[in-house]
Amino acid sequence: MNLNYTLKPGTRNLLFGLMAMGVLGLVYAFLAHVPGQRVWANLLVNSYFFLGISVVGTLFVAIQYMAEAGWSAGFQRVPEAIGQFIPVAGLILLLVLIAGSHSLHLHHLYHWMDPSLTDPASDHYDEIIAGKSAYLNEPFFYARAVIYILGWFLITRAIRKASLAEDAEGGLRNYKKNVTLGAAFIIFYGVTSSTSAWDWVMSIDTHWFSTLFGWYNFSTFWVTCLTLIALFSIHLKNNGYFTHVNENHLHDLGKFMFAFSIFWTYLWFSQYMLYWYSNIPEEVTYFMDRFENYKVPFLATLVLNFLAPLLLFMGRDAKRKQVVMSMIGVIIIIGHWLDVFVMIMPGTVKDGWGIGILEIGMFLGFLGAFLFVVLTALSKASLVPKHHPFLNEAEHHHI
**What is the per-residue pLDDT across 114-154, written as a single tens digit (0 to 9) for each?**
999 999 999 999 999 999 999 999 999 999 999 999 999 99
Q: How far apart are CA 100 and CA 283, in angstroms?
A: 25
Note whether residue 110 is domain-resident: yes
The pLDDT value recorded for residue 395 is 82
Pair 233, 315 in one domain? yes
- For the entire predicted model, the pTM comes to 0.95
| Distant-in-sequence, close-in-space partners of 332: CB < 8 Å, separation ≥ 6 | 223, 224, 227, 257, 261, 304, 305, 308, 309
Pair 221, 302 in one domain? yes
Query: Percent of the chain scored above 70 by pLDDT?
Result: 99
Note whether residue 386 is domain-resident: no
Note whether residue 30 is domain-resident: no
Q: Which of 154, 175, 207 is the last residue of a domain?
A: 207
Query: Percent of the chain scored above 90 by pLDDT?
Result: 80
Pair 161, 288 in one domain? no
Note whether residue 21 is domain-resident: no
Q: Which of 179, 207, 235 is the last residue of a domain?
A: 207
pLDDT grade, residue 2 (50/70/90)? low
Pair 97, 202 in one domain? yes
Note whether residue 29 is domain-resident: no
What total number of domains does the chain contain?
Answer: 2
Q: How far apart are CA 93 and CA 290, in angstroms?
A: 24
Pair 255, 222 in one domain? yes
Q: Is pLDDT above 80 for 399?
A: no
**What is the per-residue pLDDT across 202-224, written as a single tens digit (0 to 9) for each?**
999 999 888 899 999 999 999 99
Q: State the average pLDDT for the chain.
A: 93
Note whether residue 330 is domain-resident: yes
Pair 274, 176 in one domain? no
| pLDDT greater at residue 392 or residue 43 | 43
Q: Is pLDDT above 90 for 88?
A: yes
Note whether residue 384 is domain-resident: no
Pair 58, 190 in one domain? yes
Q: How far apart are CA 221 and CA 212, in angstroms?
A: 15
Q: Which of 207, 225, 260 is the last residue of a domain?
A: 207
The pLDDT value recorded for residue 348 is 95
The pLDDT value recorded for residue 209 is 86
Q: Which amino acid is at 250?
A: L
Pair 231, 133 in one domain? no
Q: Which amino acid is at 20?
A: A
**What is the per-residue pLDDT across 233-247, written as a single tens digit (0 to 9) for each?**
999 999 889 888 888
Q: How far apart are CA 16 and CA 367, in angstroms?
A: 10
**What is the per-residue pLDDT across 147-161, written as a single tens digit (0 to 9) for each?**
999 999 999 999 999
**What is the per-residue pLDDT across 38-86, written as a single tens digit (0 to 9) for each?**
999 999 999 999 999 999 999 999 999 999 998 999 999 999 999 999 9
- Sign for the CA dihedral angle at 112, 113, 114, 120 comes to positive
Pair 69, 110 in one domain? yes
Domain with 120, as residue range(s), is 36-207
Mean pLDDT, to the nearest integer, of 32-40? 95
Pair 215, 237 in one domain? yes
pLDDT grade, residue 1 (50/70/90)? low
Mean pLDDT, to the nearest integer, of 315-338? 94
Q: Is pLDDT above 80 for 283?
A: no
Pair 194, 247 in one domain? no
Pair 189, 253 in one domain? no
Note whether residue 60 is domain-resident: yes
